[in-house]
Amino acid sequence: MGEKVLVIGAARSGLAGAEFLAKQGNQVVLTDMKQAVQVDNLAELGVSFVWGEQPDVEAIKPDYIVMSPGVPLTIPPVKYAKEHGIPVIGELELAYRNCKAPFAAITGTNGKTTTTTLIGELMKKTGRQVFVGGNIGVPIITYADKLQEEDIVVAEVSSFQLETVESFCPHLALMINLTPDHLDRHGDMAGYLAAKARIFENQKESDYLVLNYDDEALRELAPQSRGKVIFFSQKHKLEEGVYLDGRKVMLALNGESLFICNADEIAIKGKHNLENAMGAIVFAYLSGVRAEDIRDVLMTFQGVEHRLEPVRTLNEVLYINDSKGTNPDSTIKAIEAYDRPIVIILGGKNKGVPFTELAGLVKQRVKKAVLVGQAKEELAEALDAADFNDYVRTESFEEAVTKAAELAEPGDIVLLSPACTSWDMFSSFEERGRLFKKLVMEL
């Protein structure tokens, strides 16, 4: 029999991790604070379960623990494990240990999913088998042991996942940006940055770290990297890296200067998406994708679901689903992407991040705001402080969508970009976005 493993958290990555470990012949205990989950397939594999309470680590005696990213490392079982020398890792680390393929890993506060998906499309131009997963949806462990050395994993990785890495070492690591987020978990920006920076802590001289030169906190990480650092910038002409020359996107690398495309030719719009594309270009070129193939993909890639996703135009009002806008900075970028009058739907569960800067931009750029969810009073206070009074409170998500539609006039945009997580009303931002689209189609 293999090792005894305690898997904490029965969401996507926990279920996938438990299944993988059981199939490898390990004794697996899966636990979650919620009541029993339907896991007949795991029971058939011999997995045992602890539901609705914290597991007794002393009684279980695991060789190691695998944490789901959504579970904080402050819970008693983890404290006990650390005090008694029991290793605690996450599904990302587990997948890395069991995968022959090299990793290209992407992190940042905003734009991770768009950039990861774009890099996945670019990597396909190499002719290699490409697996895109991680925080983006499909747990990497699902396919880890099926991939070969000539394949590649393109992984979106979150700060929660990076908290539990040990040997994880992506050949290509990208940090897109850093703005306040998850401060309820990491305590402050220093803690948040430290978690993100673990993406490159095991890199070697033969690996690459791609950083946003325009983000001072990220730029200052460069001396800490053992890998080769390559920057991208919208504001500075770089001797090496991706930069703008007027509106031309240029790549300078290995003594060569290559024209990639005009910024206006990139299909996904907005300054933040130009930032995403620049980081993706470096990954693609380092992986052997030709400049003309990079250009072709950038001109045709339409973005991802729930990120500035057009839903429909009704009575000359455009409805946009940006349910993935789960923090204020993400919503700021969404507002800045449009030059039409905006009726915005804000609210959900806050993550300990102030709304001050967002409220200031709402005052400048937004016509009306509809507030909903747990954070609506906090949002109202921030809007009041910014001297913005054109907002209404609603009691349900359905009412919020209906009210936004009533307030919108021809030529306006109704933008769902909540600046909050969905966890007060939904299980995920995807569920929230799907309901928004359903309600909009029923208007």
- Report yes or no: 119 and 106 within 8 Å, Cβ to Cβ: yes
Choose the catalytic residue: 26, 125, 171, 182: 182
DSSP string, 283-323: HHHHTT--HHHHHHHHHH----TTSSEEEEEETTEEEEE-T
d(CA 314, CA 58): 60
Q: Does 350 participate in catalysis according to the annotation? A: no
Q: Which amino acid is at 202?
A: N
Q: Does 112 participate in catalysis according to the annotation? A: yes
d(CA 221, CA 104): 19
Q: Does 182 participate in catalysis according to the annotation? A: yes
Choose the catalytic residue: 112, 306, 351, 437: 112
Sheet bearing 342-346, strands edge to edge? 309-314, 317-321, 413-416, 342-346, 368-371, 391-393
**Residue matched to tokens 């205990």:** 29
Chain centroid to CA 163: how far?
15
Q: Which two tokens stand for residue 126?
A: 């190499």
Q: Which amino acid is at 300?
A: T
Choose the catalytic residue: 26, 110, 125, 135: 135
Q: Is 113 helix (H, G, I), strand (E, B) or coil?
A: helix
Q: Is 150 helix (H, G, I), strand (E, B) or coil?
A: coil
d(CA 304, CA 113): 8
> Which active-site residues does the annotation give?
112, 135, 182
